[in-house]
Every structure is written in C-alpha cells, then in structure tokens.
Amino acid sequence: MRKKNTLILLSALFFSACVHQNIDPDTSKVISNFSTNKNTFITSKTHLINTKEARNNYLNNFLINSDMQCVRYLTQSQTIPIESSSEEEGLYMAIFDTVSLIFGTKQITDTAKRAFKTTSPERQENKTAYKTALSPEVLKGVRIARARSAKEIEKHQNDSIKTYTTSMLNTDLASYDKQCSEHAGLIEINKALKLAQNRIMQSPQPIENKIDPQKIKKSVEKVTKEVEQKKLSINKVILETKIKGDNNTSI
C-alpha cells in the first residue's frame, strides 16, 4: 500500500509539518517536537471514525502525509539551532567511540568528542558542523525506524474496529510522530555501527548496510580536520596580537 502511494508522497511537498515549541523551565532551552499536521485530512478527528474502512483510510492518509512532513521538518530543523538533549549528546559520543573501535581512528574521534563537549566559544559551531555532516545518516535512521513502526501498525488493518480501536490507533500514531526526531535517527545509527562492529569481530568481511559506517567515519574525519585548522588559525591570531602588543610596549 505504501509503495503505491510513493508518487502521491513526492507530489505533495507543499504541505507543512506542525511543530510544537515550548520552553524547558529548568534550562530555558527551546524544545521542538514534531506533530503531523492533519488539517489537510478529509477526516481529521478520529472520534468520528466508526468503521474499519474509515479507520484504515485515515491510517494510510496519516502515514503518507506524516512521512512527507517529517522529511520537511528534519530538513528545516538543520538550519534552526535547537539544543540537543543530554541523551542525544550521549548518542553522538557513542557514535564517535564505535567509529574509533571499528576503524582505529581514536585520535580523530577523541578530537571530535573534545570539540563536541568543550565549553569554548566555538562549541556550538563545532557541534553544528558535526551534526550537519551526520544529518543525512540521521535522516536515514529516522526513515528506518518509522518504516519498521509503520509495518507493525499496518498489521492491524485486518482487525475489526472493536479489536483495534481508534484510541489504540491514536496511541500508535503518537509514537510514530515521536520517531521523527534526531534522537530516533541517532539510535538507528548506533544500532548500525554496533552491528558492523559485531560482524567485523565475528568475520571480517565487506559490510553491507543501509547506514554506511564508512560515511560516518569520513564525516567525522572531515569536520575534525576543519575544527583543528580553525583552532590553529585562532591560536595564530592570538600569538600575532600578543607579539604586536609587545612591540608597541617596547617602543
């Protein structure tokens, strides 16, 4: 069913996602949560659905629109500085550690970890650089997680309206919306890296995976080089300023 609707999904790119924003009272940070915008649905209120056919039509409509809106939301969120949660930062650290174990790039990944955790003024800029580099794989991870969940939800299409109620459907779709997040994508990246690590340990062979560990490694290496070059440039400016100041003092 979902494959048949691919063209519908691609042709509906003008729809927008609904994003709820609130403030964490403890940190005063903006927290954004994805929520599928149902304004374009023929029937947007599930409490009015009382037949199996109507429920299934609503489900299919929701999945198509939600997937399209999720891609738009994640793409747009790359340009908005949203603070990562401590869990998400931990997932980035786990990615760096596993890349180091798989490819023997400890020096590079340690630099990445320091750049990600440092309290220097460049911290947010460095974090954004790593997150941007890894964003294509994060998006893949989100798609993998949501596709897996969609299959589980679609299994209920043969159930009667009494067996799989609209209340149950609402609960499942709310969980589906939550998977449109950086957090969900990072979890899938870590799963893929761990799977690659286990395969290498069991039998070192070329790895085939939807999320390519080589791309993760190259992204981390690229940004790490940029971070190191930027640090050298800053240190050079500081040194030149100091020398200039000393010369002026001696005169």
**Residue-wise pLDDT tens digits, 89-106:** 899 999 999 999 888 888
Q: In this predicted structure, what is the pLDDT of residue 82?
A: 65
Q: In this predicted structure, what is the pLDDT of residue 38?
A: 87
pLDDT tens readout for residues 154-163: 999 999 999 9
Kindly report the pTM of this predicted structure.
0.72
| 81: pLDDT strictly greater than 70 | no
Average pLDDT rounded to a whole number, residues 161-175:
94
Q: Given pLDDT bands bounded at 50, 70 and 90, which one contains residue 17? A: very low
Q: In this predicted structure, what is the pLDDT of residue 65?
A: 93
| 202: pLDDT strictly greater than 70 | yes
221 vs 243, more confident: 221
Question: What is the C-alpha separation between 153 and 169, in angstroms, rounded?
Answer: 8
Q: In this predicted structure, what is the pLDDT of residue 10?
A: 27
